[in-house]
Amino acid sequence: MLAQFFVPHPLFLKGYQNVLDWMQIIYVFALLVGALSFLILHLDKISKKQKGWGYNLVAIAGLALMVFFGFYKGIQKGSPFLWIFDNLQVPMQSTMFSLLAFFVASAAYRGFRARNIQATILLIAGILVILGRVPLGEMLHSSIPQFATWVLNIPSMAARRGILIGVGLGSIATSLRIIVGIERTYLGK
Amino acid sequence: MSVPPNYMCPSSASGGLTRWRNRHSFNKLFPLDKQVLFPTLLKNLSRRIVLKGKIHHLIFILTLIFIFHSPAFAIDQISWFDPQKTNLLIGIILTLIFIFGFILYAKKSKKLKIRSIPGLEALDEAVGRATEMGKPILFSSGLGKMERVATMASMNILGSVAEKIAEYNTPLLIPNYDPMVTTVAQEVVKESFTKAGHPESYKKENIYFVTQSQFGYVAAVDGIMLRERPATNLFLGTFEAESLILAETGNSIGALQIAGTDSTIQLSFFIVACDYTLIGEELFAASGYLTKNPLVLGSIKGQDFLKLIIGFLIVAGGILSTLGYNFLINFLGKG
């Protein structure tokens, strides 16, 4: 995998592609394990009639229904499978995602409280960046958008890059520890 | 048995290498002439399989046939190295030297220390809190699959955390996004409970696959948090847009939260919503910090020295570029 990054020979690229294909094949089998785990978990709760077992029944019914429609009618446009996906799954996902807006507000309220000097600087910088990204900022003062861009491109980017260098080196070191067998916890050892 | 002349490389016929090859019958099995290399290998190995029944030679032959028939071999103009990536290769070699150098040093001296990481120091407190309150601990490795380094780091931390949890017999809930991660997490926790001397406390049913839908996963984990009311939430691994939803829900139920991820965008959300956050590399250093394994600590020290070199290169590049010399920036920016 590392060699193909440096060697542009088609043989290495083909080998790399083969590895990726095999990963997909293995992954399909892992998905079966996941589906089995899902079934066992929910069937167990239903059989024990645990609190809220009706929801487990809905989960199993949902899985069975999607599998049935997928195999019986296919997944092409106009199929029941795609209809359920577009009209149930997608709206539910969008609902969950829209919660993020409210959580950002509550997290910002907590994060921007001026408890000390650093928090106050964060609060001022945050307000100026918010103002700089909306037309109101430019109406108040022409330099607010420039300041917002400066904050994002210079200090914020410098901090991000500092973290990214650490993450990159940490990833390499962890990978090496795994490759040479120093770190084997993820294998259950 | 004499060596056929076409098996010899003419240019090196009188050299020491050729004499050594002849003496050890290498030319018979691995001739230098590329035109006869594969047919000869096939012939000799086939004979070995038939006469001696060596199955690994059969596997080797099948691999050779597969490679030999690859369309890649039909191409005349081949390139074995991309010169645009020389800087990256040098960087990787330097990284390997430093990390392995410090691992070897740690193996000998065993006296390496790393700075205190508050998020990891708080793990004992987090486990103790859950035990005292009689509530479970929730662990999530996020949306990462097993090939993600952050997920592997997460599993390494899970091993140490599960060992602590096993001692107190506190329930550990691990809802997973990926089926392969589920299997790995089950193995890791099982092994940790056994190591702690409490294999009977291990509950496989508490580590389960939920869904591969990002927001479906969030809905499930949020539901678990609101129903089970865990005393401690550990969000360690790969997180995306769901990070804040999870952390804010955890905050709303008053759970002590420790989070860590390699995404700089999600880190900011975790910092405001969690009690402790492992920033960037701290996530990868956690397993060494918790296990005190000198070899892991050695690799972390190697990382630190590499950071020093990178810092030096950044400063040097800045100064040289200001003075009008751009060769360092051009070299490092290639590829």
DSSP labels for B110-131?
--------HHHHHHHHHHHHHH
How many C-beta atoms surround the C-beta of residue B139 within 10 A?
28
Looking at the structure, tell me whether residues B178 and B298 fall in a common domain.
no
Looking at the structure, tell me whether residues B135 and B123 fall in a common domain.
yes
Q: Is A181 on the interface with B (CB under 8 A)?
A: no
For B137, the 3-state DSSP assignment is: strand
Run of H or E residues at B142 = strand B137-142
Looking at the structure, tell me whether residues B167 and B266 fall in a common domain.
yes
Looking at the structure, tell me whether residues B285 and B318 fall in a common domain.
no
In chain B, whose CA is at the least distance from the CA of A163? Answer: B280
Instruction: Determine the structural domain holding residue A6 and report its residue range.
Output: 1-73
Provide, as residue numbers in chain A, all residues whose Cβ is less than 8 Å from the Cβ of B182: 33-34, 37
Residue B319, classified by CB atoms within 10 Å of its CB into exposed (0-12), middle (13-18) or buried (19+), is exposed
Model confidence pLDDT, tens digit, residues A54-107: 999 999 999 999 999 999 989 999 999 999 999 999 999 999 999 999 999 888
Tell me, yes or no, whether A12 lies in a domain. Answer: yes
Residue B244 has its nearest CB partner, among A38, A103, A182, at A103
In chain B, whose CA is at the least distance from the CA of A112? Answer: B272
Structure confidence at residue B17 (pLDDT): 53
Tell me, yes or no, whether A68 lies in a domain. Answer: yes
Distances in whole angstroms, Cα of residue A61 to Cα of each of A64, A85, B243: 5, 15, 29
DSSP annotation of A76 = S
Structure confidence at residue B14 (pLDDT): 44
Q: What is the ipTM of this complex?
A: 0.85
B328 vs B331: CA distance, rounded Å: 5
Tell me, yes or no, whether A94 lies in a domain. Answer: no
Looking at the structure, tell me whether residues B304 and B285 fall in a common domain.
no
* Unique residue bearing structure tokens 């759970």: B255
Q: Tell me how many domains chain B contains.
A: 3
Residue in A132, A60, A54, B291 with CA at minimum distance from that of residue B300: B291
Q: Is A22 on the interface with B (CB under 8 A)?
A: no
Residue B303 has its nearest CB partner, among A31, A110, A173, at A173
Structure confidence at residue B169 (pLDDT): 83
Looking at the structure, tell me whether residues B132 and B182 fall in a common domain.
yes
Distances in whole angstroms, Cα of residue B253 to Cα of each of B70, B223, B248, B256: 59, 12, 9, 9
**Distance between start and end Cα atoms, chain B:** 52
Instruction: Determine the structural domain holding residue B174 and report its residue range.
Output: 118-291
Task: Report the alpha-carbon angle B6-B7-B9, nearest 5.
Answer: 90
Model confidence pLDDT, tens digit, residues B185-227: 999 999 999 999 999 989 988 999 999 999 999 999 999 999 9
Model confidence pLDDT, tens digit, residues A94-145: 999 999 999 998 888 888 887 889 889 989 999 999 999 999 999 999 999 9
pTM for the model stands at 0.79
For B261, the 3-state DSSP assignment is: strand
> Cβ contact (<8 Å) for B96 and A92?
no
Residue B283, classified by CB atoms within 10 Å of its CB into exposed (0-12), middle (13-18) or buried (19+), is buried
DSSP labels for B160-196?
HHHHHHHHHT--EEEEESSHHHHHHHHHHHHHHHHHT
> Cβ contact (<8 Å) for B85 and A96?
no
> Cβ contact (<8 Å) for B241 and A182?
no
Distance of CA A35 to the CA centre of its chain: 21
Query: pLDDT under 70 in chain B at which residues?
Result: 1-39, 41-42, 45, 48-55, 57, 64-78, 110, 335
B147 vs A20: CA distance, rounded Å: 11
Tell me, yes or no, whether A47 lies in a domain. Answer: yes
> Cβ contact (<8 Å) for B79 and A41?
no
Contacts of B41 (CB under 8 A, 6+ apart): B29, B30, B61, B64
> Cβ contact (<8 Å) for A177 and B296?
yes
**Among B272, B274, B283, the residue to mutate for chain A (most A Cβ within 10 A):** B272
Q: Is A34 on the interface with B (CB under 8 A)?
A: yes
Q: Tell me how many domains chain A contains.
A: 1
B287 vs B159: CA distance, rounded Å: 9
Looking at the structure, tell me whether residues B225 and B173 fall in a common domain.
yes
Minimum distance, in Å, between the CA of residue B83 and any CA atom of chain A: 8
> Cβ contact (<8 Å) for B187 and A174?
no
Strands B137-142 and B232-238: parallel
Partner residues linked to B172 by β-bridges: B137
In chain A, whose CA is at the least distance from the CA of B85? Answer: A6
How many C-beta atoms surround the C-beta of residue B157 within 10 A?
28
Looking at the structure, tell me whether residues B177 and B255 fall in a common domain.
yes
* Unique residue bearing structure tokens 């990214």: A164
Minimum distance, in Å, between the CA of residue B229 and any CA atom of chain A: 15
B293 vs B104: CA distance, rounded Å: 13
> Cβ contact (<8 Å) for B267 and A163?
yes
Contacts of B192 (CB under 8 A, 6+ apart): B158, B159, B160, B162, B163, B166
Looking at the structure, tell me whether residues B298 and B151 fall in a common domain.
no
Looking at the structure, tell me whether residues B103 and B124 fall in a common domain.
no
Q: Identify the CATH number of the domain in which residue B194 sits.
A: 3.40.50.1220
Residue in A125, A16, B315, A95 with CA at minimum distance from that of residue A5: A16
Using only C-alpha atoms, chain A has a radius of gyration, in whole angstroms, of 26
Q: Is A6 on the interface with B (CB under 8 A)?
A: yes
DSSP annotation of A87 = I
**Among B95, B149, B228, the residue to mutate for chain A (most A Cβ within 10 A):** B149
Residue A107 has its nearest CB partner, among B81, B85, B248, at B248
Looking at the structure, tell me whether residues B174 and B220 fall in a common domain.
yes
Looking at the structure, tell me whether residues B170 and B267 fall in a common domain.
yes
Q: Is A58 on the interface with B (CB under 8 A)?
A: no
Model confidence pLDDT, tens digit, residues A140-167: 999 999 999 999 999 999 999 999 999 9
Tell me, yes or no, whether A122 lies in a domain. Answer: no
